[in-house]
Structures are given as structure tokens and as C-alpha cells.
Amino acid sequence: MVDIPESLRSVYTTELREHDGRYVLEVPKREVEDGVVSVGAVYRVGVLSTRTATTNDASLDKEMTQRSSDGTQEVAQPVKEGDRLVVTIEHTGSQGDGIAKIDGGFVVVVPSTEPGDQPLIEITRVKRTVAFGTPLDR
């Protein structure tokens, strides 16, 4: 089970690159400019592998990502406040909230849910890299 803490700061997609004999995961410039992360600070990083792309998956990935000015890819916001949808809770975060992923990996945090639940939710808050939803069918 993956434990996603309340202090989750950012979610984005990037490539692992080799640079001067080391391997580097690039952080989008906007994360530093927006104060999400600071140069020189230490962070815990979770790495999730992507599935092998099929033609349909590649189309979805293209729709769900956009190229930022520094060349990395970030997940687009597939929902807006007030949207209602059914999600599948995959994990429980450190604060006990359910964690779902939709449309290519965008994270949705849903309180009062457990892995395996498939609640109808309403999106109550959307940040650049994560959304929060409230279960409607409880």
C-alpha cells in the first residue's frame, strides 16, 4: 500500500535522465517559482512507474500532459470544482483519506473511503497537481 501524506506538495510526470554519470529526475521550474519546493532543501520522492503505452494509452497520455517551458511534462487538471464522478479508491493516505487516480494519474483525495470503494464524489477543491472530493453516496 502506498502512503500519501497530507503534506503532499506536488505531482507531475518527468523522465529519468543520465547526466554526468548520475541519474536525474527533473523538477519543473514552476515548482520552484511557485514556492512548492526550494533549491537545496531535502524532499522525499515517490516514483510510480507508467504502464506500457498502447495506441489508446499514448493518445490519452498526450491529452493528459502538456510540455512545460523547461521540457518536463505535467499532468493536466482533468476535473473542476463541482464535477461529479465515480472513482476507485486505490490506497489510503497517512491521514486516513482514500486516494484515487483518474485520467492518466491525476490524484484525487477522498475522505471517509477505503481501498476498493467506488464512491460517487463531488470535486470540492482543485489544485494544480491534486484534487479533493467529497463522497455523495454515503
Domains, the chain: 16-135 (2.40.50.140)
What per-residue confidence (pLDDT) applies to 20? Answer: 92
Angstrom distance (rounded) from CA 49 to CA 42: 22
Mean pLDDT across the chain: 77
pLDDT in tens, 105-114: 789 999 999 9
pLDDT in tens, 36-81: 788 888 887 877 665 433 334 444 444 444 444 455 555 558 899 9
pLDDT in tens, 83-106: 999 999 999 987 889 999 987 778
What per-residue confidence (pLDDT) applies to 137? Answer: 76
Ramachandran area for residue 37 (φ above 0: left; ψ -120 to 50: alpha; else beta) = beta
Angstrom distance (rounded) from CA 45 to CA 93: 15
Hey, what's the torsion of the CAs at 71, 60, 109, 111, to 10 degrees?
Answer: 180
Q: Mind giving me the DSSP string for 55-112?
A: HHHHHHHHHHEEE-TTS-EEE-----TT-EEE--EEEE-TTS-EEEEETTTEEEEETT
Phi and psi of 32, rounded to 5°? -75, -45
